[in-house]
Amino acid sequence: MSEHLRYAEGGEVHLDFHGATNTTIDFIISRYGVEAMDAIFKKVGKDVYRSIHDDLVAGDTGQLVRHWRHFFSRENCDYDIAVGDDEIVLTVRHCTAWHHVAKLVGTPSAHFCDQTSRTNEGMAEGSPFAIDTEITGPGSCRQVIRRRA
């Protein structure tokens, strides 16, 4: 398993970008439909996160787990990751992004969490793994990496 972390960041975080993401989701969906937004998120998963995508295709989940730890910690989320023999489970109890947007606009887009579900699908496309995202409540979710049957 590699120790690589291609997309690490340092310094401050600018949470207001999540508000711009929310605006973008509403803009794209209102003009082009959910399919267009989904396609953009899948491209983010596959092209922007190409290094993670390539690792998953090669059967290596290590970088994705490190990526989750790095960014969910940077954004001060309440989360944990359980690495088991058959599955890896990321449980997010308090998503900083969702709650920050709720503070800015009241109610985040109904499709706000699609950025997670579809980007995960894009990263896993063509790999031996599936990443399923279950929204468990407002600003909480469960993301599970499993080998495809």
Positions touching another protein (CB under 8 A) are 6-7, 9-21, 23-24, 27-28, 31-32, 36, 39-40, 43-44, 47-51, 71-72, 74-75, 77, 92, 95, 97, 104, 115-116, 119
Backbone phi, psi, residue 88, to 5°: -120, 125
> CB 42 → another protein: shortest distance, Å?
10
Question: In the complex with another protein, which residue's Cβ is closer, 76 or 87?
Answer: 76
> CB 41 → another protein: shortest distance, Å?
8
Question: In the complex with another protein, which residue's Cβ is closer, 116 or 148?
Answer: 116
> CB 116 → another protein: shortest distance, Å?
6
Question: In the complex with another protein, which residue's Cβ is closer, 137 or 147?
Answer: 137
Question: In the complex with another protein, which residue's Cβ is closer, 21 or 91?
Answer: 21
Q: Rg of the Cα trace of the chain?
A: 15
Distance of alpha carbon 45 from alpha carbon 127, whole angstroms: 12
- The β-bridge relationship of strands 129-137 and 87-94 is unpaired
Question: In the complex with another protein, which residue's Cβ is closer, 29 or 129?
Answer: 29
Say which residue the tokens 């596959």 belong to. Answer: 46
Residue 78 near residue 92 (C-beta atoms within 8 A): yes
- How is residue 49 written in tokens? 């996160």
> CB 59 → another protein: shortest distance, Å?
20
> CB 146 → another protein: shortest distance, Å?
20
Angle (nearest 5°) at CA 27 between 79 and 135: 25
Say which residue the tokens 């730890």 belong to. Answer: 69
